[in-house]
């Protein structure tokens, strides 16, 4: 939906590429102008009915929104459409989960997913507010929502501690490279622009390359000889995209 978006067509093209990168088969695209998001469904009731009609006709299993939905909006839409609903943040998180290859990458994706889940628990799980204290992992007098929050929060803190160690190791490696006085060159740019392909050509490396968004989630460094400069440390990096979820940026701080 176009909500004060000056580059709507570009955003839509990018969103389709995101969907395809997540192995989603696009059956239909529904767009329109929206003065302001609807608090209940994000879209108006008429547009929601149009989406529901297309879901029924095409037998769609999932509906993607190129916007960030609140927990309540997502829940209301799933009830109305009778299928799974994912917003832009959840779609990108899903892609990152598919692409993560290293232990560090998987930890960072899990952290981002848990942080996103935590925000959904805060806003959308009030229907689980039932007093059943003292059962299982729950503390005395603790509601289900409070239990879920506590468990997710504990897992988040555990992963953050592990990633802090990764961050310290990366910082040590960075300091070592700086002391060596060898210049560093980072390949930066939009995701799927060809950074990893160029990196392999320059370094004769074998970094994973694919014609898909976010094929690279783990920065790679290689020392290479470039005339007339001499030795250079070349870095392949995670690509950019519009409106990258803040949870992901924070989670990937250790390796960005």
DSSP letter at 138? P
Q: Measuring CA to CA, which residue among 53, 79, 67 is closest to residue 18?
A: 67
The reported pTM is: 0.77
Are 104 and 255 in contact by the 8 Å Cβ rule? The answer is yes
Would you list the domain boundaries of the chain? 8-86, 96-254
Q: How many helices (H) and strands (E) does the chain have?
A: 8, 5
In this prediction, residue 125 carries a pLDDT of 47
Helix, coil or strand: residue 190: strand
- What whole-number distance in Å separates Cα of residue 13 and Cα of residue 212? 14
In this prediction, residue 255 carries a pLDDT of 57
Read off the pLDDT of residues 67-90 as tens digits, 9 standing for 90 and up.
999 989 999 999 999 999 999 989
Read off the pLDDT of residues 106-120 as tens digits, 9 standing for 90 and up.
888 889 888 888 877
DSSP letter at 254? G
Of these ranges, 37-41, 142-146, 240-244, the one predicted with the greatest mean pLDDT is: 37-41
Q: If pLDDT is split at 50, 70 and 90, which confidence band does 129 have?
A: very low
Q: If pLDDT is split at 50, 70 and 90, which confidence band does 126 have?
A: very low
Residue with tokens 């009609």: 53
Residue 133 in this model has a pLDDT that exceeds 50: no
Residue 211 in this model has a pLDDT that exceeds 80: yes
Phi, psi of 62 (to 5 degrees): -150, 145
- What whole-number distance in Å separates Cα of residue 241 and Cα of residue 256? 14
Are 239 and 256 in contact by the 8 Å Cβ rule? The answer is no
Are 250 and 200 in contact by the 8 Å Cβ rule? The answer is no
């Amino acid at each position: 939906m176009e909500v004060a978006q000056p580059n709507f067509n570009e955003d839509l093209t990018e969103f389709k590429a995101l969907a395809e990168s997540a192995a989603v088969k696009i059956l239909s695209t529904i767009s329109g102008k929206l003065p302001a998001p609807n608090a209940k469904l994000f879209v108006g009731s008429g547009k929601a009915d149009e989406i529901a009609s297309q879901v029924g006709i095409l037998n769609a299993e999932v509906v993607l929104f190129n916007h960030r939905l609140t927990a309540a909006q997502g829940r209301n839409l799933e009830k109305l459409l009778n299928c799974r609903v994912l917003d832009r943040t959840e779609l990108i998180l899903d892609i990152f989960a598919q692409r993560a290859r290293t232990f560090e990458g998987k930890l960072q994706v899990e952290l981002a997913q848990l942080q996103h889940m935590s925000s959904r628990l805060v806003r959308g799980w009030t229907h689980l507010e039932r007093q059943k204290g003292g059962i299982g992992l729950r503390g005395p007098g603790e509601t289900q929502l409070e239990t879920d929050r506590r468990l997710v929060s504990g897992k988040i803190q555990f992963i953050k501690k592990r990633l802090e160690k990764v961050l310290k190791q990366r910082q040590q490696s960075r300091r070592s490279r700086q002391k060596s006085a060898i210049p560093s060159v980072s390949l930066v740019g939009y995701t799927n622009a060809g950074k990893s392909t160029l990196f392999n050509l320059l370094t004769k490396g074998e970094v994973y390359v694919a014609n898909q968004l976010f094929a690279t989630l783990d920065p790679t460094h290689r020392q290479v000889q470039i005339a007339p400069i001499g030795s250079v440390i070349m870095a392949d990096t995670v690509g950019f995209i519009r409106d990258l979820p803040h949870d992901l940026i924070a989670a990937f701080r250790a390796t960005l």
